[in-house]
Amino acid sequence: MKIILFLLCCITHAAFAQQDAWVYFADKENVEASLQNPLTILTQQAVDRKNLHNISIDVRDVPVSAFYIATLKATETIAVLAKSKWMNAVHVRGTLKDIEALFSFEFIRKIDFADRTLTDLARPNPQHNKSSVVTTTNDFVYGNAKNQTDMIQVDALHNADYTGDGIKIAVFDSGFPNVNTLTAYKRLRDANKFMGGYDFVDRTSAIFAYKGSSHGTRVLSTMAGFIEDKFVGTAPDASYYLFRTEDATSENPVEESYWVEAAERADSLGVHIITSSLGYNTFDNANYNYTPEEMNGSTTFISKGANIAAEKGILVVNSAGNSGNTTWRIVTAPADAPGVFTIGAVDSNGDYAFFSSRGSIFQPTQKPDVVAQGLGSFVIDETGVIVSNNGTSFSAPIIAGAIASLWQAMPTATAAQIKTFIRSSASQYESPDDLLGYGIPNFNAALSLTLSTKVADANSIKVYPNPVSDQLYLRFPSHTKDGKLQIYNVFGQLVREQVLTKALLNIHVSELASGLYILKIKSDNTTHSHKFIKQ
């Protein structure tokens, strides 16, 4: 009898306690009209970026139905906390009973509870089973930032005048107090490189007040901070959007939804890079906690959103996490996602930082991707003082800023190509592991790879397919003379050389190790360079 009474109490508590859930809609409004007129749903910059990289504008770009959201809000017992056009879903809070009652609306397709033991209670709606298709130089004195900058050789990019200019970065974090007044961001403000921001937690554009955390201010400094002769971030001339998606006072899955909503906003604004020093695995309500096995890149709402952001052409950078010396040990969401460029941490000597979260067998791709200094990183705090902090929270934006500087050098490259350049330049590219991933990247080497395509008449000789696994085919214009063919690996080492004749129509590359290579064709006193990826 006591056992039955206990179970009844548990059921009653679950029914009346506030729960978080994702409610998925069956369809969207005005899809065809929106896709035919994309400027009604995206900015011109976003459309231009997608066209540049041949990224389709699809139903996921169409906003969530305002009517559906208004209908849920009108129930009064349900709080709608966030929305996601990519997922065609909203994040709601209410009792189990009230959330289940939403199935009375025929436009509800599915409900996933944050407490996954309750999801079986969320029955599919039998009445509605529609599915959705889803060349001057900069004389910077880096000061305290010198070691973390030199380690990845981003100073070489700055010396070549690649400082992130023209690249848009969205920073997702928990607070950005005093960014609007600190001297460290005067360069950013004077150049009108602060593009705006939004607080998704409090639903306000006021993002510079202190709201329990100055973490975002410190993260931003590793990229955008500039104090003459004392500190230079890795992308001092990039443009920045600041989005607060993390509530430092609590830990709840709604923060995943805020993150995805911010990613959608970033995509609509034409952002190139998202950098996020956030991770989720446990919550204030233990029923919402994830298991290590669920860090598989496709289970959590935030990782699903991060993967879509990558599909949309955004380069998503995320910290690996600081659980390396805890019982959890491994990366958290969204760092587990295949589409995310996950960054671990090393110390000032380039050795593994004891706290840096590790990859595991649960992730479908190598995690972390690369590493940077996260133990003893120098940052600028909310008072404008240069201090030393620890965490992958800082190694991640250090890399994100370096990526912006690299991308400026080759703006037509895709996010996938940029990631390949960086991995291929890293210190242990040939033997990645779960501690350092591919290792410490060399952005000077990555820069050489990007610039190798800027050779005169580079398109006069066709090299395909790319990527390649077995045979690389060549097509020459009729005027090509005999010469020499060479293949170099990412470290500049010659791995193949042979005589070039017009009879040479294909090259066997199956024996080459996987990675990025430079093919040089020397003919008639000219050199043509082509990058190719060996799978």
Q: How far apart are CA 275 and CA 411, in angstroms?
A: 18
| Cα–Cα separations (whole angstroms), residue 172 to 34, 227, 265 | 28, 23, 11
Residue 20 a catalytic site member: no
- Residue 456 has a CB neighbour count (10 Å cut-off) of 8
* Tokens coding 425: 């330049």
Q: 344, 318 in Cβ contact below 8 A?
A: no
* DSSP string covering 301-351: HHHHHHHHHHHTT-EEEEE--S-TTSSS-B--BTTTSTTEEEEEEE-TTSP
Residue 173 a catalytic site member: yes
| Cα–Cα separations (whole angstroms), residue 125 to 25, 78, 103, 106, 109 | 11, 19, 6, 7, 6
Query: Which is nearest to 90 in space by CA: 124, 106, 66?
Result: 66
Residue type, 120: D
Catalytically annotated residue among 173, 199, 237, 267: 173
- Residue 535 has a CB neighbour count (10 Å cut-off) of 12
* DSSP string covering 236-254: TTSEEEEEE---TT---TH
Residue 460 a catalytic site member: no
Residue type, 113: F
Catalytically annotated residue among 84, 213, 276, 393: 393
* DSSP string covering 420-444: HHHHHHSTTTTS-BTTTBT-S--HH
Catalytic positions are: 173, 215, 393
